[in-house]
Amino acid sequence: MGDWLTVPDVATALGLDVMQVRQLVRDRALLAQRRAGVLVVPAAFVQDGRVLKGLPGLLSLLADGGFSDDEALRWLFTADDSLHDSLPGSPVQALRENRGTEVRRRAQALAV
């Protein structure tokens, strides 16, 4: 899954305080995991000083489709060549490349 950021690091990257980042996690705008007792967020979820475009809505869509947080994280970081024939990659990579429509369509198909 790549690099992980602690909540204070995410706060710095987003220009927020730690409590605001924790609220983003509670609101499912970001997903986090405990690693060695520390709450961490995938670094890929932060881009250009903001939460990755389209991520909060996608996380809601996945949750509505029955995905647990762990399942959603696994899906987001698993390569999916069907997202685009000439630009394969993981759903999170597609989001980072502004291909959110393809990712949402794929997530909706999984939820059916």
Render pLDDT for 9-57 as a digit per residue (tens, 0 to 9): 999 999 999 999 999 999 999 999 999 999 999 999 999 999 999 999 9
Q: Report domain extents, the chain.
A: 4-111
Q: Sheet with 38-42: list strands edge to edge.
A: 4-6, 38-42, 33-35
pLDDT number for residue 79: 87
Enter the DSSP assignment of 80: B
Answer whether 40's CB lies under 8 Å from 85's CB: no
Q: What's the predicted TM-score (pTM) here?
A: 0.89
